[in-house]
Amino acid sequence: MCPAFGSLRILSRIEGSHPVMATDTGCLYGLTFVTHFYGARKSILAAHLRTSELMSGEIVESTRAAIDVAAKEPGCQLIPVVSLCVAETAGLPEEMLPRRIGDAEVVLVRVPAYAIHSHPEAKDVALAALLRRLGQPEGERDDKSLVLLGEVFPADPLIIDAVVRQMGVSGTITLPGRSIDDLRRAARAGALAPLHPFYKETTAVFRGWDMPVVGGAPVGASGSYAWLQAVGRLLKLDPALVNATAESERDKAQAILNAQPLSGRILVTGYEGTELAYARLLIEAGADVPYVSTSIGADPLVLPDEMWLKAHGTKEVIYRKSLEDDLAALDEYKPDLVLGTTPFASAAKERGIPALYFTNQLASRPFFLSGGMAATIAFIRQMLTKGAQYQWMQEFFEVDHA
């Protein structure tokens, strides 16, 4: 995946948002393709940047023309201008673009993949740009409300919302989501809870609004317990209520882990930036996870998960990993199941090892708290039983029995 896609993934899914891309033909083709596969059924506009436009310095003019067309889409309220490698190299000055057109805000999002490094970080850059423009911190705060930060399976916010309300949270807003209004009102919430550990810039924007930040994420039994306690403390909720909820969640989660224990060795790798949290849940459920790799860089936000993993048997945690790192781990650890990118998963399948494309299979299931984890664990349990089938396929295609 091109790292810049992270931005389009979230920008294309917002209702009323019509992204305009500024880039060359090949980049545009590829990113439009994946947006139409993973993002939204949404027509994508772009400035046509070829040699002729670049030589004559028409980038701004072309981009403005595309913005004009986008503004005419029905219900258009937001036009993110996504500036990619070629446009960034040539230069696209923000002050030359309109800030508003008709009913729509025009927000420049600079995500050249040569500088962004990873898909999750592009999500962060895009969301931070939107919040800086749209966030409305003025007005009354809802001190007991919570912003959930992270692109999660649609059922997850429901699950989390229901549980935190039991302990007195007044409501939740999930970002990035599909509502522009959520971007505005999130600035007046009581606290920010990053469910994923790579929203660095976005978190900084919230801190700028004096919003406290909850550490960790509601993952697994111990993680959920600690997270609910942290939310309670930050929002100054009734400790007795918080305790009761946190304990009940921990017990429910533990019951699921006990009822569906995992056994086997799993490599957890991917480019989503959420790999450490998944590894943590799998270990709690009993799996051996010696190796975890991710596309994001090391950061204080991921450190607690890394330390937890290292304390629970994980030998290697690799940031900004390469395919070669993962392949070496495949040799070293001989896993029973691999979660990874497509090239890595296919390398595992070529050896007869069950493997899944992390992005397609894991991010499409509920995950958080006791209500979410069951689906993920059941799926992994099922995959761990598939060894014979993967081996049979591998032998059929790769071993010459003649």
Site residues for ligand SF4 per CB under 6 A = 2, 4, 23, 27, 30-31, 84-85, 112-113
- Residue 157: HSE in the Cβ half-sphere, 13 Å Cα cutoff: 19
For 179, phi and psi rounded to 5 degrees? -110, 130
Q: CB-wise, 72 or 334, nearer to other proteins?
A: 72
User: In which residue are the tokens 């509502």 written?
Assistant: 179
Applying CB under 8 A, which of residues 91, 102, 139, 154 lies at the interface with other proteins?
Answer: 154
Within 10 angstroms of residue 13's Cβ, the number of other Cβ atoms is 17
Task: Choose among ligand SF4, other proteins, none what residue 327 binds, the Cβ cut-off being 5 to 8 Å by kind.
Answer: none
CA separation for the pair 148, 20 (Å, rounded): 27
Q: Rule CB under 8 A: say whether 182 interacts with other proteins.
A: yes
Provide, rounded to whole angstroms, the least separation between the CB of residue 320 and other proteins. Answer: 11
Question: Of 185, 188, 200, 321, which lies in the binding site for other proteins, with binding defined by CB under 8 A?
Answer: 185
Q: List the structure tokens of 382.
A: 């099922």
How far apart are alpha carbons 86 and 84 in whole angstroms?
A: 6
- Does residue 131 belong to the site contacting other proteins (CB under 8 A)? no
Rg over alpha carbons for the chain, rounded to the nearest Å, is 22
Q: Total residues at the site for other proteins (CB under 8 A)?
A: 74
Shortest approach of ligand SF4 to residue 141 CB, angstroms? 38
Binding-site member from 5, 206, 333, 358 for other proteins (CB under 8 A): 5
Residues 85-114 that bind other proteins (CB under 8 A): 85-86, 89-90, 112-114
293 makes contact with other proteins (CB under 8 A): no
Q: Which of 96, 162, 303, 393 binds other proteins (CB under 8 A)?
A: 162
Whether the Cβ atoms of residue 134 and residue 181 lie closer than 8 Å to each other: no
Q: Using CA atoms, how far apart are residues 243 and 135, in angstroms rounded to an integer?
A: 33
Residues 5/119, Cβ–Cβ less than 8 Å: yes
Q: How far is the CB of 34 from ligand SF4 (least distance, A)?
A: 10
Given the complex with other proteins, which of 133 and 184 has the nearer CB atom?
A: 184
Q: Exposed, middle or buried, 217 (CB in 10 Å: 0-12/13-18/19+)?
A: buried
Binding residues among 340-359 for other proteins as defined by CB under 8 A: 341-343, 345-346
